[in-house]
Amino acid sequence: MFVRAQKIPAMTDLEARFGVMDQFPGYHQVPSLASPTLEMMAGPTATPELARIANDAMAKIVDDHPDRFVSFVAALPLNNSVAARREIDRAVDELGAAGVQIFTSIDGRPVDEPEFLELFEIMAAKDKPVWLHPIRGMTTPDYPAEQVSKYDLWWALGWPHESGVAMGRLVFSGIFDRCPNLAVITHHVGGTIPMMEGRLGSGMKLLGTRVLPGYEEAVKTPLKGFPLDGFRKFYADTASFGSRAAIECGRAFFGADRLVFATDMPFDPEQGPGYIRETLRAISEMNLTQAERTAIFCGNAKRLLKLDAPHSTA
């Protein structure tokens, strides 16, 4: 992924990116760092400086091109919890970041470990959203007997699964009970979650009945209420590679008021315009009211990101 991303002009060349954006009148962006994560690239002593460099650069891009970018999503050195907390304060309070990005696992560690939950709690206190992005590599095999995943299934199927598992760990951690105003924007229309309504509903009413003797601790949760209600508290973006069915499923599960426009630009085969065009097409074909369409294209994002200007976002 990293090698391919380096070869996409719109990843690093602003003029190339503007050329793509100009094909879609009224289109604005909220940029974030793409994977790999900072902690995959460096140890805990180096990632704080990498995060500072990235966030300073993105803040400058937004300041220099307010007609293109309405804000940015801050990167965090997630393998250094002290520095991550400091960078949240710096990026959000000083640089004006719209929120922060946290990945579905941190060097293989679960997102619901206390030091990571604290970051979500900090963002809730600041009333700023967290973007939850999946991360999984080819070296996570499809079967225990193998060494690597085949046929890009680690990405095509593994990333939606990673999102679903991380969302589940957050729900059962009770984070939404402690922070009812927490806004978490999940990538790829919430991964597998919208398709699992039945399992997360009546199926989870049997929580604890499937556990092996001696492993009861693994199903203990501080969650109050039904798990399904917790899953509906997430937001989801529309980055579905142009799949109307996926966006329809997300709308049915989360509601139109919790969908925000995004496209995974510029990772399409055309290196930019493809996923924007196809996502716009998919949403235009949906049976939506004008109010719902406006909310998905810009209204929900404006509310979450505290934006007043009439921009569309991605």
pLDDT in tens, 25-51: 999 999 999 888 999 999 999 999 999
Q: Is the peptide bond before 36 cis (omega within 30 degrees of 0)?
A: yes
The H-or-E segment that residue 260 falls in is strand 259-260
CA 166 and chain centroid, separation: 11
Give the model's confidence band at 147: pLDDT under 50 very low, under 70 low, under 90 confident, else very high: very high
- Residue of 112, 238, 221, 109 whose CA lies nearest to 172: 221
Q: How would you class 46 by CB atoms within 10 Å of its CB: exposed for 0-12, middle for 13-18, buried for 19 or more?
A: middle
Domains with residue ranges and CATH for the chain:
104-205+219-232 (3.20.20.140)
Per-residue pLDDT averaged across 16-28, rounded?
A: 96
* Burial letters 135-163, b for 16+ CB under 10 A, else e: bbeeeeeeeeeeeebeeeebeeebbbebb
Q: Where are the alpha helices (DSSP H) in the chain?
A: 2-6, 9-12, 14-21, 38-41, 47-64, 81-88, 114-126, 153-156, 158-172, 175-178, 197-200, 227-231, 244-254, 273-284, 290-294, 300-305
Q: How confident is the model at residue 4 (pLDDT cuts 50, 70, 90)?
A: confident
